[in-house]
Structure 1
Amino acid sequence: MKRLFIVCLFLIFAFQNEGITQVNKAKHVILIGFDGLGSYAIPKATMPNLNKLMESGSYSMEARTVLPSSSAVNWASMLMGAGPTAHGFTEWGSKTPEILSHEVTKYGIFPSIFSLIRDQIPIAKTAVIFTWEGIGYLVEQEAIDLVHNSESEELNIAKAIEVINKGETTFMFLHLSEPDGVGHNIGHDTPEYYKELETVDAKIGQLIDAISAAGKTDDTIILLSSDHGGVNKGHGGKSLDEIYIPWVISGPGVKVNHEIKDLIMTYDTGATIAWILGLDMPKSWRGKPVEDSFNSF
């Protein structure tokens, strides 16, 4: 009887931890950020690769930015697992915190997913590849193995594919500036904006194909999101077209063709990546893992 009891406990434990085992199969996490990609546009856009990514994983079109719904404050929140009153970056083009950060790492800014990885998994390799130079002020560059900045999205895609092919990087953040440029210069919700989304979708396809060609599909989690949407030629306001952003995740352990109903804030992205990688999160982080996107754990 005692032996049967022990076996039952073992089976219960194994069942409860099945999802964790699946998540831990992910050896690589890639965060793709498209600047200015508003959720409002996706149902009206021609984006077959994004649709396939959603069908193969979990998604929400009602994830929310922090306010203001603009760039630096939201990229910082996404990577730092907390909102602007904690990390201190509060404006579109923040280069240094306008509010005193609650805490700073040895790298001089509020803890991000990059310093968590460096401090807790020293052997892990990380990369940040970005188009908008403002990203460089929001990451702890000394904690990152590869920092690559180019105004050319084509060169950045090529560098990202190079990283994928090498297969050594645990976490990569790829920032791309479009469709934000079209949104500012011509306007959101315009024919030109939707045309640009076809180009955005082609880039998603390039990255998915590269992961497949490298034989990394079964151990790579892709997470795709944005910093804000837009109205007319601007953003930063409180409208849903500005604050609703896509949140899409696909890979081992992720539910298939699943719409996430839970509230997602952009700072939950950093928390979800930390959870996938088994990292302890700082007490100052306010994000929580989007556990509904994963199979039972």
Structure 2
Amino acid sequence: MRKFLILLYLLTIGYAGTVCAAKLKAKHVILIALDGWGAYSVPKADIPNIKNMMDNGCYTLHKRSVLPSSSAINWASMFMGAGTELHGYTQWGSRTPELPSRVVNQRGIFPTIFQIMRDQNPKAEIGCLYEWEGIKYLIDTLSLSHHALVKEYKKNPSALCEMSVRYIKEKRPVFLAICFDQLDHIGHQAGHDTPEYYKKLNELDQYIGRIVEAVNEVGMLEDTIFMLTSDHGGIGTKHGGITLQEVEIPFIIAGKNIRKGGEFNESMMQFDTASTIAYVFGLKQPQVWIGRPMKQVFK
């Protein structure tokens, strides 16, 4: 009887381990987000690295930003799994919530994907690298292993790419968010849907190619999921309104355990990004989140 109980115990432990392992879709996620990248631009743009991911994974060109279609609001929603009404960031440059957050964590900020990952995987290497200073107020920096701002990127446009490559090679992060601001700057200066805009998009595509190659060089490629997206689009030299050019943004996902499924038709919102990342890692999302993981893209 004792031998039977020991065997039953070992089988139970083995089964539980199998279930936990099955929840993990990949060991690494690299999220690359281009500020001001409207979905309208994708069919027209010369972006071979991005389109290669589209061909080998899944994507939608109808993901929607939350309203208003401005930066801090949508970066917050991307990382916080909820909309303005819950996280409380309501302005383009919000650093703290104008509307009190419905829930805050032990550090006084609305729960982020970085925080729930830290809480449920304390030893994970988690990073966020960015060009717009406003990002640091939206990511719960105390949950991160490393975060850094690239200053004066106009003088050295490749600086964030180079920083990302170094960090990947040195730390092999479990989760890394890379946030480029350059396209939004061009959108405000020269305008969306202009030759200057597409030239910058092509340049950013080359940086994305270099980041993917760095992942490959350190032997992470087979265990990594890449996600590409944006905070909002734009029209003319502005954003923040309700046109589809401002509201519709791309979401592209490729890599480990992702179907080669092409375009998916299910609706996706900005706050679904955090939920999809949580789903990759088998993380339990907070009750206050309203995001839904895009389960249909996985094998």
1:158 counterpart residue number: 162
Q: Which runs of 4+ in 1 moved over 2 A?
A: 151-155
Q: Distance in 1 between matches of 2:42 and 2:212?
A: 19
Q: TM-score if structure 2 supplies the norm length?
A: 0.90
| Equivalent residue pairs, number | 278
2:70 counterpart residue number: 70
1:40 and 2:29 aligned: no
Contact 1:132/1:177 (<8 A) preserved: yes
1:148 and 2:148 aligned: yes
Q: Distance in 1 between matches of 2:75 and 2:288?
A: 17
Q: Distance in 1 between matches of 2:96 and 2:25?
A: 37
Cα displacement (A) at 1:166: 2.9
1:270 and 2:274 aligned: yes
Cα displacement (A) at 1:159: 1.8
* Structure 1 counterpart of 2:248, from 234, 244, 249: 244
* Structure 2 counterpart of 1:287, from 284, 291, 299: 291
Q: Distance in 2 between matches of 1:166 and 1:290?
A: 31
1:8 counterpart residue number: none
Cα displacement (A) at 1:147: 1.0
1:205-237, Cα deviation, whole Å (9 max, x unpaired): 111111112221110111110001100000000
Secondary structure of the structure 2 residue equivalent to 1:85: helix
Q: Distance in 1 between matches of 2:227 and 2:180?
A: 14
1:147-296 alignment runs, 5 A limit: 147-151=147-151, 152=153, 153-295=157-299
Q: Distance in 1 between matches of 2:109 and 2:140?
A: 7
Percent identity, aligned pairs only, is: 42
1:130-166, Cα deviation, whole Å (9 max, x unpaired): 1000001101111111011113242221221122213
Q: Distance in 1 between matches of 2:205 and 2:127?
A: 22
1:125 and 2:125 aligned: yes
Cα displacement (A) at 1:24: 2.2
Contact 1:34/1:175 (<8 A) preserved: yes
Secondary structure of the structure 2 residue equivalent to 1:169: coil
Q: Distance in 2 between matches of 1:197 and 1:255?
A: 26
Secondary structure of the structure 1 residue equivalent to 2:61: strand
1:12-27 alignment runs, 5 A limit: 21=22, 24-27=24-27
Contact 1:258/1:293 (<8 A) preserved: no
Structure 1 stretches lacking a partner, 5+ long: 1-13
Which residue identity lines up with residue 74 of structure 1 in the other structure?
A: N
1:106 and 2:110 aligned: no
1:225-250, Cα deviation, whole Å (9 max, x unpaired): 00011000000000000000000011
**RMSD in angstroms over aligned alpha carbons?**
1.6
Secondary structure of the structure 2 residue equivalent to 1:179: helix
Q: 1:195 to 1:168 in 2, by over 3 A?
A: closer
Contact 2:25/2:281 (<8 A) preserved: no
